[in-house]
Structure 1
Amino acid sequence: MVVSELASATAPAPRLRRPGWRDPRLIVGLVLLFGSIVAGARLMAEAGQTRAVFAARGALPPGTALTPDVLQVVRVRVEAASADYLDADSPLPAGAVLTRTIGDGELIPVAAIGSEASLSVRPVTIPLDGPPPGGLTAGGKADVWAALPREGSRGGYQVPREIASKVEVFAVTGPGTGLNSSRSGALTILVPEANLPDVLEALAGDARLSILPVLGTPRPAPQS
């Protein structure tokens, strides 16, 4: 009994073995470590791959000339779609104008750039003698109706007729702002060239204009 206890007391204690290169746990750990390093390096490389492009400094209507005062430079990640926007590292195209409305802060698409001859709409500002009609928002659509004054001593106005359909509303100015401080407001619409003579004739002839919002047209998303 004593000999047995003595032998057990003097027996060497088991030692922890260092994992060898063939240990599956070590291999899995190394794979995870190298995988995280590669993924992190790739993310850092992609984050550094940006390019400078132009964006609008405020809302810009069609016909706006591309000059530095209406543009701002922003950096975006390099992607296939980024080639579709105006490169800020290249000179601005001479004589180029916008062919459609560009929102505040929106990147300038190459497809929205053209010459003055390519414009199909013109901005027209209509003064309002009352508050802007409800439902009219920038980026929405509206129909324009005009009632011309009757000729002779009868007075009054003729039957209204539609002179422009589904035109884009570029800006709605409230009362007492800007150059319209003496009026209740103003409305800037983008009139197609085909409708431009009728709209200008109505303005010059003191016609009574009615601007009716087109129901169901989507409103522009707010800028972030």
Structure 2
Amino acid sequence: MSTETLPAPVAQRLRRPSWRDPRLVTGVVLVALAVSLGSWAVSTASRTVPVWAAAGPLTPGDRVTPDAVRAVEVRLGDGADLYLPADQPLPEGLVATRVVDEGELVARSALGDAAGLDLRSVAVPVDGALSARVRKGSVVDVWFVPDAAPGGRDREAPAPRAVVEGVVVEQVDDAGTGLVVGSATTLHVLVPTADLPDLLAALGDDGTVDVVPLAGGAS
């Protein structure tokens, strides 16, 4: 029985990939894209833009003028369009429509036309001690405490009542410093037109007016 000797397999030499190899070209392109996207993301995240911030508290109706704001550099990313850019002139005729605290970025949503505000400024004299937390931009409740009715102890004392709630303090006159301030303090509060009759009636009645700051208001 004859046997045939099979030829020994010939080892194939690995060839160095050519630059024309589509797999190599695809890999190079993917790496380049990844590097470019990474660089763009880092650059975008670290880029700052100039926007306006409140130089002091702004209350509804305050005009937004160059004296009321200051330019700051911040990183906002895609949210930059939500705020007023400081590299452009301030639009004329804008007023704050809500409280903007000192240092807060001025959002476009916090601005509007004065004609659209249904608020009136009312001077409220406060005879008693006033919390130091009550200042421009604070949100307060105004309470009325009627004078005791004549008749001594046999007469039930009238109960205090809230006249208006959640109104913004526009201005504080003759306010002192410390934990409390004394008498002769006048607050200017921004009151919705619908609440004016109740507040004006309380101010003309026999009694005293107290102001209570809301928790979480300006401090």
On whether the aligned pair clears a TM of 0.5, the verdict is yes
Instruction: Work out whether 1:193 is the aligned partner of 2:193.
Output: yes
Cα distance in structure 1, aligned partners of 2:188 and 2:51: 28
Residues 131 and 174, structure 1, Cα contact 8 Å, conserved in 2: no
Q: 1:175 to 1:67 in 2, by over 3 A?
A: closer
Paired position in structure 1 for 2:53 = 55
Instruction: Work out whether 1:99 is the aligned partner of 2:104.
Output: no
Q: Give the match's secondary structure for 1:195.
A: helix
Q: 1:197 to 1:210 in 2, by over 3 A?
A: same
Shift of 1:108: 1.3
Cα distance in structure 1, aligned partners of 2:111 and 2:69: 13
Cα distance in structure 2, aligned partners of 1:184 and 1:120: 28
Paired position in structure 2 for 1:65 = 63
Q: 1:128 to 1:55 in 2, by over 3 A?
A: farther
Shift of 1:112: 1.6
Residues 142 and 164, structure 2, Cα contact 8 Å, conserved in 1: yes
Q: 1:221 to 1:126 in 2, by over 3 A?
A: closer
Instruction: Work out whether 1:211 is the aligned partner of 2:205.
Output: no
Paired position in structure 1 for 2:43 = 45
Residues 127 and 208, structure 2, Cα contact 8 Å, conserved in 1: no
Paired position in structure 1 for 2:183 = 183
TM-score when scaled to structure 2?
0.60
Cα distance in structure 2, aligned partners of 1:77 and 1:213: 33
Paired position in structure 2 for 1:112 = 110
Letter paired with 1:78: G
Which consecutive residues of structure 1, in runs of 5 or more, have no partner in the other structure?
1-19, 22-29
Identity of aligned residues (%): 32
Q: 1:122 to 1:55 in 2, by over 3 A?
A: farther
Shift of 1:146: 1.7
Q: Give the match's secondary structure for 1:198.
A: helix
Letter paired with 1:105: G
Q: Give the match's secondary structure for 2:143.
A: strand
Shift of 1:83: 1.1
Letter paired with 1:82: A
Alignment of 1:1-224 (within 5 A): 38=36, 41-47=39-45, 49-75=47-73, 76-79=75-78, 81-123=79-121, 124=123, 126-132=125-131, 142-147=140-145, 160-168=160-168, 176-177=176-177, 183=183, 189-203=189-203, 207-212=207-212, 219=216
Shift of 1:105: 1.2
Shift of 1:61: 0.8
Q: 1:176 to 1:194 in 2, by over 3 A?
A: same
Cα distance in structure 2, aligned partners of 1:206 and 1:133: 26
Letter paired with 1:132: S
Q: 1:94 to 1:181 in 2, by over 3 A?
A: same
Which consecutive residues of structure 2, in runs of 5 or more, have no partner in the other structure?
1-16, 19-27, 152-156
TM-score when scaled to structure 1?
0.59
